[in-house]
């Protein structure tokens, strides 16, 4: 039993780099998908006849809505 407790910190320390890499890769994928989505959104708005300035403003709002930093700040404020 004591031996199991002694190996627990080793197992946790060994798992941290794997978890960090997985989180980093997942976050980078999220950022890439978000960027492509914002670009498509802006292009679609302009193709439908919306003025460039207004499409850029709406695309920026769309981009900000998916901001992980803003979501976490809002969650912390509540």
| pLDDT tens figures, 14-67 | 889 999 999 999 999 999 999 999 999 999 999 999 999 999 999 999 998 888
Instruction: Please tell me the distance from the alpha carbon of residue 34 to that of residue 67, in angstroms, as a whole number.
Output: 9
pLDDT of 3 reads 57
Rounded to an integer, the average pLDDT of 2-18 is 76
pLDDT of 42 reads 97
Instruction: Please tell me the distance from the alpha carbon of residue 61 to that of residue 72, in angstroms, as a whole number.
Output: 17
Higher pLDDT, 64 or 11: 64
Highest mean pLDDT among 5-14, 15-24, 65-74: 15-24
pLDDT of 72 reads 85
Rounded to 5 degrees, φ, ψ at 67 are: -75, 120
List CB contacts of 68: < 8 A, sequence separation 6 or more.
Answer: 27, 30
């Amino acid at each position: 039993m004591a031996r199991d407790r002694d190996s627990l910190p080793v197992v946790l320390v060994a798992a941290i780099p794997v978890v960090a890499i997985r989180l980093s890769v997942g976050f980078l994928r999220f950022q890439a998908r978000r960027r492509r989505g914002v670009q498509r959104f802006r292009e679609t708005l302009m193709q439908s006849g919306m003025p460039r300035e207004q499409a850029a403003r709406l695309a920026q709002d769309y981009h900000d809505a998916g901001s992980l930093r803003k979501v976490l700040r809002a969650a912390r404020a509540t």
